[in-house]
Structure 1
């Protein structure tokens, strides 16, 4: 059994994982899919003071009560999970960047995806960024094009505070570099001008032939890749334990 902590991206809520959670749970895993401050059942907490640091605190408070967490960050939440792992590396077994921003220490969302500067400049009341508009297929609404799915997705979207895009990520803990990583790229319907950074040589790369919100459009396939990532970490951990405790010739392990 693995413990998954699924962190939604900008504008979304924890409900976006509703099709993935039961698949992981039916396979025997523990799954947490909280809504970050300002979204979903916490939408009433949206304010100019909410930012990346708020969301890191949200996830860290939960992660510090768990062990061997497979920490999954979608889109903007790549920034969130990076800082959480920096704070609690001993709690994280695997980092999964799901079509996500992949920062370096001290970077903001604008550094990772420069087009977000325009979102800040156009913010409502100087601090609220409305959800991006629906575009013609195959782009749709965050890659979702089925009308029923689009309506469901719209029901969970909230504005994004600009502090989420302005505050820097903290990645100065060397222990973070030892946490295994999987990067999952959604390769269909990518908007022009969105570039991805190279995946680290030590990380695993997987692709899904769908749009950005793959948890809505390909939940079964995504769940399979998440379980695969967890199994890879378990295998690596077992190998490390055996290397640290070799069995002497002529003996058997218990």
Structure 2
């Protein structure tokens, strides 16, 4: 079967850097895919809106029309915001061990709703995490989406309900759900599994 060449854009969460994805990108590029990645500006000084704008700028610079955006952790909010602004340029969204954004809610709102102190998970009260993301639900629903669940994630208490929702709304909300034996930092520790999951049924 001939490989379908895809252009992936990787976005790390929090204070992580694009180098987190170096090994995953190398594997994908060895198979003929195109990849790009960006390090978001300092979350202690930037906002979620800033990060979305940074990703939108990168999307424009690729010159591609149908990109696959891969967001890890907090970056699930960033790729969702960018897809809302530029849906015509997004072929698929890949959520790598993230929460699934809800319009009108911030990352910290999810912790509050769960009755969990974000500080217990090393999530500080930085501006991007407190900013509420507002997006068009119909646009989000229409975009094909893949959720990659890390079975040994340090954030299982936050992601288990997300996985349950995705699995029960696969067709209604355009989801594919995959599971890998890895913790939250899967792209560093098991890049082969992550690369395979990201490609999924695109091969």
Match of 2:126 among 162, 165, 171: 162
Larger radius of gyration: 1
Q: Which SS does the other structure have where 1:205 is aligned?
A: strand
Q: TM-score by structure 1 length?
A: 0.67
Which one of 135, 138, 152 corresponds to residue 171 of structure 1? 135
Q: Judge which range, 63-72 or 214-223, deviates more.
A: 63-72
Cα distance, 1:193–1:182 mapped onto 2, change above 3 Å: closer
Q: What is the Cα deviation at residue 19 of structure 1?
A: 1.1
Cα separation, 2, equivalents of 1:175 and 1:191: 27
Instruction: Give the match's secondary structure for 2:104.
Output: coil
2:54 is the counterpart of 1:90: no
Q: Residue 31 of structure 2 aligns with which residue?
A: 27
Aligned 1:22-101 pairs, distance under 5 A: 22-38=26-42, 48=45, 50-64=46-60, 65-101=63-99
Q: Partner residue of 2:7?
A: 3
The residue aligned with 1:225 is 197
Name the one with the larger helix percent.
Answer: 2
C-alpha displacement of 1:194: 2.6
> 1:204 and 1:185 mapped to 2: Cα distance?
11
Cα 1:89–1:215 change in 2 (3 A) is same
Match of 2:182 in 1: 210
Q: Structure 1's 96 and 116: CA in aligned 2 closer, same or farther, altered over 3 A?
A: farther
Report deviation, 1:190. 3.5
SS at 2:94 equivalent: strand
CA gap of 1:170–1:191, structure 2 versus 1, over 3 A, is: closer
Contact 2:109 2:130 in 1 (8 A): no
Task: Specify every segment of 5 or more residues in structure 2 that has no aligned partner in the other structure, as ranges.
Answer: none
In 1, Cα distance between equivalents of 2:79 and 2:138: 15
Please, which runs of 5 or more residues in structure 1 have no aligned partner? Answer: 39-45, 123-130, 133-158, 232-254
Residue correspondences, number? 188
Distance (whole Å) between structure 2 residues aligned to residue 79 and residue 95 of structure 1: 11
Give secondary structure in 1 for the equivalent of 2:183: coil
| 8 Å Cα contact 1:77-1:101 kept in structure 2 | no
Q: Greater shift after overlay, 209-218 or 188-197?
A: 188-197
Given the two structures, how large is their TM-score scaled by the length of structure 2? 0.83
CA contact (8 A) 2:155 2:184 kept: no
Give the conservation status (yes or no) of the 8 Å contact 2:14–2:74: yes
CA RMSD of aligned residues (A): 2.4
Structure 1 contact 93–179 (Cα < 8 Å) conserved: yes
Secondary structure of the 1:15 match is: helix
Q: Distance in 1 between matches of 2:103 and 2:153?
A: 30
Give the Cα–Cα distance (whole angstroms) in 1 for the partners of residues 87 and 115 of structure 2: 28
The equivalent position to 1:111 in structure 2, one of 85, 100, 109, is 109
